[in-house]
Amino acid sequence: MLPDSIGEEEEQERQEISIRQMDIDDVAAVYHLGEHLFTSEELPILYRTWDAYEVADYFTSDPDYCLVAEIGGRVVGFILATTFEKEGTAWKKYGYVSWIGVDEAFQGSNLARRLYARLEDKLEDHGVRMIIADTEGDNEKAIGFFKKMGFSARSQHVWLAKTLQRPGRPAPPKRGARGRLAARLKKAGSKGDAD
Ligand SMILES: CC(C)(COP(=O)(O)OP(=O)(O)OC[C@H]1O[C@@H](n2cnc3c(N)ncnc32)[C@H](O)[C@@H]1OP(=O)(O)O)[C@@H](O)C(=O)NCCC(=O)NCCS
C-alpha cells in the first residue's frame, strides 16, 4: 500500500495547479508556450506580433496583470493584460486582455477561466469598469472562450497587411515607351562606338 500511496501523493502534487503572478523566471517559459500556441498557419497575426519583447514589456510595465498557471513546477498557461484610462468616456478606466494561452494538453480544464477570473478580480479592485479583448476573426477557441467569460462582440475588426519591398532590393524601374526608346538609342550608340 505504501508505494501506492506515495504514487497517489506524487500524482496529486504533480496535478496541483496554482494560479499566481508571473515572475521574472517565467518570462522565457511564457514566451515559448506562446510560440507553440500562436502558430503561423492557424493564427498568423498573433504569430507575427508575439515575441519575447512583448512578454517582457507586459511583465515590466504591468506585473500585477501578468499571471501564470503552474502545474508541477511547469508553466502551462498565462494571461497578460494592461489598463488604460480615457477621460471623457463613460467607463474612464479600461482593462485590456492582450494575450491568453493554455498548453494544449491542459485546454478544456478551466485553466483559462481561472486565469481570467483572477485577472478580472484584480482589475475590478483597481477601478476598471470595462474589459476589452480582441483576437483574429476566425479564432473560434478564443471567441468561444471570451463569450463564456461574458464578453460580447462589439464590432468587426479587420487586420490589413501589406508586404513591403525588401530593403536593398529595389524593384527594377518600369520602362515606359520613352524609357525603352532611350535604352535602345543608348545601346545603338554604344555599338556604334565599339564599331
Ligand atoms: C482560448 C484558450 C485560452 C481557452 O483555454 P482553456 O483552458 O481551454 O479554456 P477553459 O477550459 O478555461 O474554458 C472556459 C470556458 O470557455 C469555453 N471554451 C474554451 N474553449 C472553447 C472552444 N474551443 N470553443 C468554445 N468554447 C470554448 C469552455 O466551454 C468553457 O466554458 P464552460 O466551462 O462553460 O464549458 C485556449 O484555447 C488557447 O490557449 N488557445 C490558443 C491561444 C489563443 O488563441 N489565445 C487567444 C488569443 S490571445
Per-domain residue ranges of the chain: 11-162
Give the chain as a 3 state SS string.
Answer: CHHHHHHHHHHHHHHCEEEEECCHHHHHHHHHHHHHHCCCCCCHHHHHHCCHHHHHHHHHHCHHHEEEEEECCEEEEEEEEEEEECCCCCCCEEEEEEEEEECHHHCCCCHHHHHHHHHHHHHHHCCCCEEEECCCCCCHHHHHHHHHCCCCCCCCCCCCCCCCCCCCCCCCCCCCHHHHHHHHHHHHHHHHHHC
pLDDT at residue 41 above 70?
A: yes
pTM greater than 0.75:
yes
Tell me the average pLDDT across 144-149: 98
| Angle, helices 52-61/27-37, rounded to nearest 10 degrees | 130
pLDDT of residue 155: 84
pLDDT of residue 2: 40
pLDDT of residue 156: 80
Distance CA 137, CA 147 (A): 13
Ligand 1: residue of 42, 131, 145, 157 to mutate (most ligand atoms within 8 A of CB) is 145
**Tell me: the pLDDT tens digits for 86-116?**
998 888 999 999 999 999 999 999 999 999 9
- For residue 67, give the C-alpha cell: 499571471
CA of 55 to the centre of ligand 1 (A): 21
Q: Is 36 in the pocket of ligand 1 (CB under 6 A)?
A: no
- The torsion angles phi and psi of 18, rounded to 5 degrees, stand at -120, 140
Q: Is 144 in the pocket of ligand 1 (CB under 6 A)?
A: yes
pLDDT of residue 161: 85
Closest residue by Cα to atom 19, ligand 1, is 145
pLDDT of residue 174: 61
| pLDDT classification of 189: cutoffs 50, 70, 90 | low
CA of 66 to the centre of ligand 1 (A): 18
CA distances 28 to 78, 89, 103, Å, are 12, 37, 15
Q: Which tops the pLDDT comparison, 195 or 14? A: 14
pLDDT of residue 3: 41
pLDDT of residue 154: 85
CA of 41 to the centre of ligand 1 (A): 19
pLDDT at residue 187 above 80?
A: no
pLDDT of residue 179: 56
| pLDDT classification of 193: cutoffs 50, 70, 90 | very low
Tell me the average pLDDT across 56-84: 97
* Topology of the domain comprising 11-162: Aminopeptidase (3.40.630)
**Tell me: the pLDDT tens digits for 155-181?**
888 888 898 988 776 666 666 655 555
pLDDT of residue 157: 80
pLDDT at residue 146 above 60?
A: yes
